[in-house]
Amino acid sequence: MEDISQHRIINETIQQGNSDVQHFYENQVIFITGGSGFLGKQLIEKLSRSCNYKKIYMLMRPKKQKAIHERLCEIFEDPVFDNLKNFRPDFRNKIVPVQGDVAQLNIGLSEKDRSVLIEEVDIIFHEAATVNFTETLKTATLTNVRGTREVLNLGEECKRLKAFIYVSTAYTPATTSRVGQEIKESFYQTPVSPEALIQFAETLDEAKLNEITPALIKDWPNSYAFTKTVTEDLVRQKEGKMPIAVMRPAIVIGAYREPCPGWIDKSAMFGASGFMLGGILGILHVTISKSDNQMCYVPVDIVNNACIITAFHTNKRWNKGERSIEIIAVVSNRNPITLKDQTEIFTRDGPPFATDATVYHPFYVTTQYKFVYIILAWILHYIPGYFVDAILLLLGKQPILSKVYNKVYRLNSALVYFMMNDWKFQDDNLVNMYQSLSTNDRIIFCCDVKEFNWNKQMITAGIGLRKYIIKDGLKHTLYGRKKFLILHIIHYIVTPLYLYSLWKVFALCLFVVRIVFSFFSSFITPT
């Protein structure tokens, strides 16, 4: 009831149309990269519902033999747009796909399309990036660094540009050497210049580049965080040349409130939301992490609300003659949640997000040591997984669990850095910007992390995963809770038997090894 009431208040305030931010976007032409991704789709939805812009140009590339117009039609079928279709049925008429690719020079634009953008665009949101933590440095550089250079060059040519918003990540300065330290909303020195890194990616053989990658990124956990860091230096070089700001969101999770609580996109599964899903389904049971580690989660709608008001704020600063680039960190340090808190919410008896798709009792075992993790992963993941897959094969069905656990292992490897370390992210710029807004703008574009109730938010995230990823229609919840309790009982019966069986098998193997060793030792005559 509270969420329904809040939605009504937001939509009623939107319809009044008298907020400063809404006035800023009136009849503006917007260019968005990454519009087909998790952040991008929700950004387009919120802009379309709250602001009377003139047009959105959306950079897209053909994919899987589908033209950009076909892909755009498919994107509009995403549940993120369901409420918008009722609220503003004609929103699709204002969104124009533009063929291109941020991984290409000139972001793959034709001369005609580039000319149109230069003449018409007022606001740019650059959200496109490869967020694959295991991406090669070559691909990550060409997409994240060179791609941003090309979008920046386009922005500098735009004749009507009022704001350029570059979406980075809070973890660009979150290096190994800064663990536990305060991360300020400012630029940090990079180990290599953007142009040098681009030249490496363009000219060096990929195998050679892969060889030098560990030395280049040694203070960063992966190619994503490293290339985002270098890209920020590229943005810094444009200071004073155009109205620009850098957004640094932390770990982005399902929606807090808009377009509906818990909305999540499948592209977000290779991250924290994937861990949550594994917990709900009773598939994920062991992680490398510190249980008291603070996780810096931020809902997707909070991030995009911050982006929208940052464009307004950046233009306002520029018009006042302020030419410095402001960095806006969208983080949750003012209202933290620990891994232990999250685990307790996702494994307590009879959770509201219990689903009949659960395969085993949800429980977590955490360890800070990789060797222990590998042993536990075999005991709690791989051995049961291979056993179940063997049964599936005997029944003539496709084995799945061993593949799932390979993905779980890769996911844990990618996120272990963030689950073992934390940083104190400063967010004064976001707080000051938000407090400077009118009352109506604070209602429409809420980005106050202090108002979160994490218990409620995690439950909402769980329900969202059921609705948008598991897609069980939120049906059979009562049965799901009963199944949860049954699996809970089975777990405490089966686990001792399973561990005892493993011990007996281990003891038998030791016995066989001793017999074999004794047998061969008898043939050895001492000299």
Is a pLDDT exceeding 90 seen at residue 49?
Answer: yes
Q: What pTM was computed for the model?
A: 0.91
CA 202, CA 445: separation in Å to the nearest integer? 41
Q: Report which of residues 261 and 348 the model is more confident about.
A: 261
The two structure tokens encoding residue 238:
């444009």
Q: Does some domain include residue 275?
A: no
Q: How many CA atoms lie within 13 A of 261 on its CB side?
A: 16
Range with top average pLDDT, 242-256, 258-272, 380-394? 242-256
pLDDT number for residue 395: 84
Tens digit of each residue's pLDDT (9 = 90 or more) over 148-184: 999 999 999 999 999 999 999 999 999 999 998 999 9
CA 451, CA 316: separation in Å to the nearest integer? 27
Give the confidence band of 526 by pLDDT, cuts at 50, 70, 90.
low
Quick one: 364 and 463 in the same domain? no
Residues in contact with 8: Cβ distance below 8 Å, sequence separation at least 6, in sequence order: none
Quick one: 320 and 435 in the same domain? yes
Q: Does some domain include residue 299?
A: yes
| Pairing of β 424-425 and β 294-295 | unpaired
Quick one: 7 and 138 in the same domain? yes
Q: Is the preceding omega at residue 496 within 30 degrees of 0, hence cis?
A: no
Read off the amino acid at residue 150.
E
Quick one: 131 and 37 in the same domain? yes
Quick one: 344 and 332 in the same domain? no
Structural domain of residue 463, as residue ranges? Answer: 2-269+294-336+422-470
Is a pLDDT exceeding 70 seen at residue 233?
Answer: yes
Read off the amino acid at residue 431.
V
CA 94, CA 44: separation in Å to the nearest integer? 11
CA 351, CA 353: separation in Å to the nearest integer? 5
Quick one: 56 and 132 in the same domain? yes
Is a pLDDT exceeding 90 seen at residue 452?
Answer: no
Quick one: 160 and 136 in the same domain? yes
Quick one: 222 and 234 in the same domain? yes
pLDDT number for residue 475: 82
Per the CB < 8 A criterion, the answer to whether 467 and 475 are in contact is: no
- Find the DSSP H helices in 257-359: 272-280, 300-319, 339-347
Per the CB < 8 A criterion, the answer to whether 421 and 294 are in contact is: no
Quick one: 370 and 307 in the same domain? no
Tens digit of each residue's pLDDT (9 = 90 or more) over 108-158: 999 999 999 999 999 999 999 988 888 899 999 999 999 999 999 999 999
Quick one: 129 and 203 in the same domain? yes
Quick one: 220 and 105 in the same domain? yes
Q: Does some domain include residue 527?
A: no
Burial of 357 (0-12, 13-18, 19+ CB in 10 A): middle
In total, how many domains does the chain have?
A: 2
| Average pLDDT value for residue range 484-494 | 85
The two structure tokens encoding residue 470:
């598991």
Report the mean per-residue pLDDT for the chain: 89
| Average pLDDT value for residue range 278-307 | 89
Q: Does some domain include residue 198?
A: yes
Q: Which of 136-145, 300-309, 343-352 has the lowest mean pLDDT?
A: 343-352
Quick one: 121 and 62 in the same domain? yes
CA 294, CA 397: separation in Å to the nearest integer? 41
pLDDT number for residue 4: 63
Tens digit of each residue's pLDDT (9 = 90 or more) over 365-410: 888 888 999 998 898 899 888 888 888 888 888 888 888 888 888 8
